[in-house]
Structure 1
Amino acid sequence: MQPATAKWYDRRDSVFVDFCVEDSKDVQVKFDKSKFEFSCVSGTDNMKHQNTVDLFGEIDPKGSKHRRTDRSVLCCLRKAEAGKSWPRLTKDKTKNNWLSVDFNNWKDWEDDSDEDLSSFDKFSEVSMLNLHSSSVRISSFTVVLIVVSCAFLQMMNSMGGDDLPDGADEEHDSADSDDEKMPDLE
């Protein structure tokens, strides 16, 4: 048995933990005030996973839920004290090799208004699927944007700094022509 790889992110009222397990079966999630336990069997090789997480803060076990998809199990841990940010998921400051921050979904919500967060207050089936699928779209878009930006920068660097096409900047060419004689120094 080994721990499942997971990513987490913080919101005003909840903390989300996304366990990256494909084709999961026998999913069990138990929520307590200060910890939660996750277990499942995943993949074609029926790998058994188990995670026990002592949480940074307290949660509302009755308000906490989970949702299984084909690629992961997303858990919504409802904070007992809404509006208090969690700098980490776990109580201990030690680094867990199976846990990382989900930067695609991380948001500095302390500066946001309550109106902007209304969509995160409900953990319905629709909002969970939208949250999860939007992170995939954002992730794919970000990758494409980075690749295009790098290709553009590489193309610009290969062109050189002073290689302007003919006629591109006529004023610049006439004012700084190499054909004019330099004045004598006095």
Structure 2
Amino acid sequence: MNSSSNATHLPAPPMVWAQRKDKIFLTVQLDNIRNPKIDVKETSLHFRATAGKDNTEYEVLLEFNKEIDPEASKQHNTGREFFFVLMKKEESQGFWPRLSKGSVKLHFLKTDFDKWRDEDDSDAEDQEDFNLDEMMQSMGGLQGAGDGGALPDEGEDSDDEDLPDLQ
């Protein structure tokens, strides 16, 4: 089977990807995913599932440009998308020129610009674990968010003193 071929001629699901020096982010963009059959190997990912209201079957075999570590990799089905964090093997680390082994452009695979970082971007800018709720809690929460946005009581305040007239 060549890179990204389908043995059963089922449509490939729409996918987006991004990378870091040590990992690949791969998202299958299908909603209502049911009965996923996933096989993650060092050199490939096989994905087959039923999705959508019309129970369409999708299947893809992606052969990777370099090797990943299947044991350290993670996956998560949100119901709206299926996320993979594929950890690159130590000797495969660094930025890959492309995700797939072959040089043929895959019509179903696009760049995930929300997660994409260029090779020369600093590691400090990595935001793959960015969580607004956690950030806001660590900063003391949103001001006024818990009370529906109400303003504090109108009362005497230290800055309510009379100000001199402008001249």
- Scaled by the length of structure 2, the TM-score of the pair is 0.66
1:15 maps to which of 8, 11, 24: 24
Letter of the structure 2 residue corresponding to residue 98 of structure 1: F
Matched-pair contact (CA < 8 Å) for 1:29–1:66:
no
When the two chains are superposed, the root-mean-square deviation of aligned CA atoms in Å is 2.1
2:97 maps to which of 87, 91, 113: 87
- Paired position in structure 1 for 2:110: 100
- Paired position in structure 2 for 1:46: 55
- Paired position in structure 2 for 1:58: 67
Residue by residue over 1:42-101, the C-alpha shift from the partner in whole angstroms, topping out at 9 and shown as x without a partner, is 011111011100101100011112111121101111100364101211000101111111
Higher strand share: 2
User: Taking CA–CA contacts closer than 8 Å with sequence separation of 6 or more, which of the two structures ends up with the larger relative contact order?
Assistant: 2
Unaligned runs of 5+ in 1: 121-126, 132-186
Aligned length: 122
Residues 29-178 of structure 1: pairs in structure 2 closer than 5 A: 29-81=38-90, 83-113=93-123, 117=126, 127=129, 130=131
Give the C-alpha shift of residue 28 in structure 1.
2.2
In structure 2, C-alpha distance between the alignment counterparts of 1:116 and 1:80, rounded to whole Å: 23
Give the C-alpha shift of residue 12 in structure 1.
1.8
Letter of the structure 1 residue corresponding to residue 49 of structure 2: C
Higher helix share: 1
- Paired position in structure 1 for 2:33: 24
Letter of the structure 1 residue corresponding to residue 82 of structure 2: V
- Paired position in structure 2 for 1:147: none
Unaligned runs of 5+ in 2: 1-9, 133-167
